[in-house]
């Protein structure tokens, strides 16, 4: 069910799912009841008890939602969420899922965040925006886990798009393994995190190259896997 999972500090876990957990998205044509059952099984495997993961309505922007309690209505329209209380989830199938954990002052809960960083998100700097909101919420030392995503050797784009994104984040400039224009979004995310003083603890492999992970470039009729962060009760 989990591609990668670790208790990254006492009382806080980070994980990324794989195809073994199934499609976790409600927007890709899958049966909603089955998706909710998969989400429930994931929450049970994470030991959440009565709690649930908060998901987002991801729109390839740079809005950051502060989550104080579990939404009883629709998921927030955002591409990043920050919380000191709620288990958080970000869904992807080639975009970069980023999970962040920030230590807070003594006696305060850790500040956690998840970010959906696709091409528009990297260009609009959604990752630095999430870091700013974490610090506003009290985060001090922040660490990052970059989940699996399409790599720079596989993510072919037009020359125009390569130039457009690289003008904002030069480290994204790349060439595919077949010598055409490409973008290296994980490199862009890494550069943005380092510029914010965030330590990177983990960086996953390429979704297109790994059949155990969903990839939109491999198959447009695909599901979504998740990056997760939660505190233990």
Predicted pLDDT of residue 1: 82
Fold of 2-231: 3.60.140
Predicted pLDDT of residue 104: 78
List C-alpha distances in Å: 20 to 4, 17, 24, 166, 223: 12, 7, 11, 35, 11
Domain locations along the chain: 2-231
Residues 175-201 as b or e (16 or more Cβ within 10 Å = b): ebeeeebbbbbbbbbbbbbeebebeee
Residue 216: other Cβ atoms inside 10 A: 19
Round to whole Å and give the CA distance between 159 and 208: 21
Round to whole Å and give the CA distance between 230 and 112: 8
Instruction: Dump pLDDT digits (tens) for 166-224.
Output: 999 999 999 999 999 999 999 999 999 999 999 999 999 999 999 999 999 999 999 99
Predicted pLDDT of residue 72: 53
Task: State which residues of the chain have pLDDT below 70.
Answer: 70-73, 107
Cβ atoms of 104 and 84 closer than 8 Å: yes
Predicted pLDDT of residue 136: 95
């Amino acid at each position: 069910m989990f591609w990668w999972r670790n208790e990254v500090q006492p009382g806080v876990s980070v994980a990324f799912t794989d195809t073994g957990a199934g499609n976790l998205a409600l927007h890709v044509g899958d049966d909603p009841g089955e998706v909710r059952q998969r989400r429930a099984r994931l929450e049970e495997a994470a030991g959440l008890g009565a709690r649930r993961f908060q998901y987002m309505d991801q729109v390839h922007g740079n809005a950051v939602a502060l989550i104080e309690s579990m939404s009883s209505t629709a998921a927030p329209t955002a591409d990043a969420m920050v919380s000191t209380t709620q288990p958080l989830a970000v869904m992807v199938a080639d975009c970069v899922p980023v999970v962040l954990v920030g230590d807070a002052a003594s006696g305060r809960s850790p500040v956690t965040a998840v970010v959906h960083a696709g091409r528009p998100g990297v260009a609009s700097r959604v990752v630095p925006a999430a870091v700013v909101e974490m610090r506003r919420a009290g985060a001090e030392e922040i660490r990052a886990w970059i989940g699996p995503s399409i790599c720079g050797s596989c993510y072919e784009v037009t020359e125009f798009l390569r130039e457009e994104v690289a003008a904002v984040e030069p480290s994204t400039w790349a060439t595919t393994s077949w010598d055409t224009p490409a973008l290296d979004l994980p490199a862009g995310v890494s550069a943005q995190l380092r510029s914010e003083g965030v330590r990177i603890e983990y960086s996953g492999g390429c979704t297109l190259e790994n059949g155990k992970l969903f990839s939109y470039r491999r198959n447009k009729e695909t599901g979504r896997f998740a990056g997760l962060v939660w505190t233990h009760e």
